Amino acid sequence: MSTLNTLIDYFETFADNHLQIKSFDYESIDVVDTKESKINGTRLFMTWRPSFWRNGIPTLSFSFFIMDRVDLETTNLRDVQSDSLSIAHDLLSDINNSDPETWTATLKDSGTSVELFKEKFSSMYAGCIVDVDIVLPQGLDSCSIPNE
């Protein structure tokens, strides 16, 4: 069964195994520029978006910020965005091609949104935002919390 913790662990493992990603966080994007969260290399940020249940089937929605620091002259902007898009492709491929024994969720058929960005915090960052809707296979026809 897939839970929020299972999903976060799955994407953290993806980030740990990806050679270009240096860190993973699941939290609000507004902490990206705090002292504890300074980017050191490409970072995968996973944030929660409003989610929904239709006909008893849960669909959890997330935004993934794939980002890296851009130099002051922005000469590496195109490279950072290109690398981020490549990582986005890897992320989506990993979801679609993962082992059904360990992964019980799928991307929603309606597609996935990918947007390039460049944003000034205390430093300039760039990359892409990938919005995904993950459909969990179990319905809401039974309780998943143990009871007596």
- Residue 41 gets the label, from left (phi > 0), alpha (psi -120 to 50) or beta, of left
pLDDT attached to residue 75: 93
> Which pLDDT belongs to residue 97?
76
Q: Is the pLDDT of residue 122 over 90?
A: no
> How big is the CA angle at 112 (ends 80 and 17), to the nearest 5 degrees?
55
Q: How many Å from the N-terminal Cα to the C-terminal Cα in the chain?
A: 20
pLDDT of the residue at 116:
93
Write down the pLDDT at residue 6: 83
- Give percent above pLDDT 90 in the chain: 35
CB atoms near residue 13 (< 10 Å): 13
Q: What is the pLDDT of residues 53-110, one digit of tens each?
A: 877 778 888 999 999 989 888 899 999 999 999 999 999 888 877 666 655 566 666 6
What's the pLDDT at 37?
56
What does the pLDDT read at residue 87? 97
pTM: 0.83
